[in-house]
Amino acid sequence: MVEPELIRAAQSGDRDALITLLRDIEQHVYRTAYYILNNEQDALDAAQEALIRIYTKINSYEEKAQFKTWVQRIVTNICIDKFRRTKPSVSIDEHDMVFQDNQDVEFEVMSTYVAKDIQDAINMLPEHHRTVIVLRYLQDLSYNEIADCLDLPLNTVKSYLFRARQQLQNLLQEYQKGGVTG
């Protein structure tokens, strides 16, 4: 994710290195916030808050943990706090579907519905299950990295993932039978 030399330079007070570091991770931070909060404005707010916290706390980072795990912990904690403070809201922004002439329109439409069904199912999960699903499958963190990020025992992470996958399977059962809820 980020070069260790850049992190050390930022920690030693090199402002340009710190700005470069923040720019390198801002998309990753936003993407995590968006997947957890499922709302663009909330994700932007959480990402900004996370970047400010990283900016002010960079000296507290120790190389005992991976930098991406440290960043994920900050972003995830901010999202969880934000989620607890506010009621979840549904974004009314819909992405326009643009079809290319050479693509199969039916496939594009079905893919969009599948993605929406999956996102809707993830959003229906309890907060702790949604968070581990996002970190594991959308951010590609290992079980150990998730445990570090969320400050949970490894077996708890495994249990949350197992239960979350079961819940997703139940929620998506309608789709698996051939029906699309879109």
The tens digit of pLDDT for each residue in 26-44 reads: 999 999 898 888 888 999 9
- What topology is assigned to 4-178 in CATH? Arc Repressor Mutant, subunit A (1.10.10)
Question: What's the mean pLDDT in 77-97?
Answer: 61
- Helix 67-85 vs helix 15-37: crossing angle, to nearest 10: 50
Q: How far apart are CA 172 and CA 165, in angstroms?
A: 10
Asked if residues 47 and 75 have their Cβ atoms less than 8 Å apart, the reply is: yes
The tens digit of pLDDT for each residue in 110-128 reads: 556 666 777 778 888 888 8
**Cβ neighbours of 34 (radius 10 Å):** 20
Its pTM stands at 0.60
Q: How far apart are CA 21 and CA 7, in angstroms?
A: 7
pLDDT score of 88 more than 50: no
Q: Which of 30-39, 41-50, 76-85 has the lowest mean pLDDT?
A: 76-85
pLDDT score of 97 more than 70: no
The domain segmentation of the chain, as residue ranges, is 4-178
